[in-house]
Structure 1
Amino acid sequence: MKKLFAVGLVLALSGCGGGYDSLPPLVSDGNGGTIGAGGTIGSGGSKDDGDWKYGSVSNADGIFSLSARIDATNTYTVPQFPNLNQRSWIELEKRKMAVGTISKRFLIFAPEEVKCTPGCQIRIKFNSGISSYNFLQRVDGVLTPANDQLAAELFDKTTRSNSATIYLPIVGLSDEVESEFNLRGYDEDKMKFISE
């Protein structure tokens, strides 16, 4: 009877787990890190960080362009197709220029036509402060700051803020679309040239 009880106890305890097999598996975070049992990202970030995507372009002389993209956390309904939702995004770019300087670009992709022909004021709220900025729409749904100085200013505000809301006047919608962005977790090292 004691042997039967001991075998039953072993079986009961082995079903409870408690070892490493009870921890959730490591999962890729999409940025070269992993999310483990504690829910933190192995590359040093946090699970509350925004979903930044990074890229680079190079030629025979090395990397000359670095980019970072962040998608809005919400979507909006396309006016012509009520069953279709779209998501806007911000793209940042740093580019080495021929004169040895580095330019900063800031782009908003709607991706629907915006009431901005050819220019307009777009309101953007960084953290809790809201301002209007001059933008141009040379291609439907792609908004660029009116000048290089403004592009650099918006680049810096994006990389130094935790959140942003861009108010987009989409053609066919009576109200502005509030595209919200989680800007946390921007990796400055991934947007640095070796010479910087």
Structure 2
Amino acid sequence: MAGRKEEIIKVATVLFSKNGYDNTSIRELAKACELSVAGLYYFFQNKEDILFNILNSSLDRLMQYVSSAINKNDSPQTNIKRIIDHGVQCVMESKMEIGLLLKESPRLNPEQQVIIKNNEREVIHLIRNEISRLNDEGSLKNFNLTFLAFSIWSIISFSHNWFNPEGQLSTKGFVTETTELFFNGVLK
């Protein structure tokens, strides 16, 4: 049963990414899954529920990647570099899902939107905690910690739009340059 549900989510992710959420009908989705519409509704309440499952699971995965980057015995600089590395790795593995998260989350009902926003805040909170540790050691200039956390979150999450790990900049290069930008700025 769980395998079929995951299969529906994968097919929906591709269709929603390719055609857009609004331009993908429930009939088209059911046909692509080789199910009747009633069969699809056996697994999900409606199309919105499918989208919610896609977005929520992508945020869960991102939370796991970011959490795994944090080791309280390591310096916050090391943890932030790993957060960027693990975050970008997750986004590259989940480009379609992250794209849907950033583009289609307004399609969810208000309760679902609250859950998604809270999960995003949890990821940003993990990032902010490491920035706060930097601040506590006196290593930061006078910046708003939340602004810095959202900056890292934006760099990680929006990389799905433009970053190609097979292009001129490798994933390692992306992490190195992002870390350099964050810790040292761009001026000589």
Bigger Rg over Cα: 1
Does TM, normalized by the shorter one, top 0.5? no
Q: Greater helix share, 1 or 2?
A: 2
Q: Pick the TM interval, shorter chain.
A: under 0.3
Q: Greater strand share, 1 or 2?
A: 1
